[in-house]
Amino acid sequence: MHVERVVVGPLATNAYLVCQDDECAVIDPGDEAAAILKRLGSRALVAIVATHLHFDHVGAVLELAEATGAPFYAHPADWAVYRELNKVAEEWGFPVPEIPPPRNPGLRVWELDVLLTPGHTPGSISLVGDGVVFTGDTLFHMSVGRTDLPGGDWDALVDSICRLYRLPRVYLVYPGHGPTTTIGNEAEGNPFVDASVCDRGVRRNE
């Protein structure tokens, strides 16, 4: 499995092409469909997946779906409140993207296992491959997702991060923004939620 990152849009969203042989899935195509298609090249796009439905993670979905015919997947819990989730876009002066109704990702999309990791949004998911996990806006390098936006839930976020910490420590974490990290780095040193929080069953909202 080969991972390529394309940083797109005004909020520097990490869009990922996850490829095996001549097939790829794209995760969180937040903007700049042309740049993503250029990076895709002659390879086949077999799936478009959003870890959650905030505007900066889905801005290029419609154009990619129309250009390639690839199916679009996102959790129905986010689709049910899509407009509410994206009130923040309008407040910040960004348009709310039109996207096709997503398919339910279930437990697996293409070569990726799907973990439900709510908290940042009700339908946030993480995608697990061979030695890697794509965490969207749930877990970042030395940070965690916001829960002060519509649909956010701090306790659910902590539970989700603790679930991610059960993955092997060597797994690479590809977040929705910022640099790559590892499960081990975050479990040992994340200043918001580390493994000790999970072990104690403590929830911090600081």
Q: Where are the beta strands (DSSP E) in 32-117?
A: 44-49, 72-73, 108-109, 112-116
Judge whether residue 127 has pLDDT over 80: yes
Distance separating alpha carbons of residues 116 and 76, to the nearest angstrom: 11
Residues 26 and 16: beta-carbon distance below 8 Å: yes
Judge whether residue 65 has pLDDT over 60: yes
* Average pLDDT estimate for 55-65: 98
Q: Which amino acid does the sequence have at 13?
A: T
Give the tens place of pLDDT for each residue, 32-59. 999 999 999 999 999 999 999 999 999 9
* Average pLDDT estimate for 86-96: 93
pLDDT computed for residue 201 by the predictor: 60
Judge whether residue 126 has pLDDT over 70: yes
Return mean pLDDT, the chain: 95
Distance separating alpha carbons of residues 51 and 124, to the nearest angstrom: 6
Residue 166 zone, left/alpha/beta (φ > 0; ψ -120 to 50; rest): alpha
Distance separating alpha carbons of residues 195 and 166, to the nearest angstrom: 9
Q: How confident is the model at residue 199 (pLDDT cuts 50, 70, 90)?
A: confident
Q: Which amino acid does the sequence have at 156?
A: A
Using CA of residue 91, residue 177, residue 164, residue 18, what is the dihedral sign? positive
Judge whether residue 178 has pLDDT over 80: yes
Give the tens place of pLDDT for each residue, 107-117. 999 999 999 99
Judge whether residue 189 has pLDDT over 60: yes
pLDDT computed for residue 204 by the predictor: 43
* Average pLDDT estimate for 162-188: 98
Which residues, listed in sequence order, are joined to residue 182 by a DSSP beta bridge? 172
Instruction: Give me the domains of the chain, ranges plus CATH numbers.
Output: 2-200 (3.60.15.10)
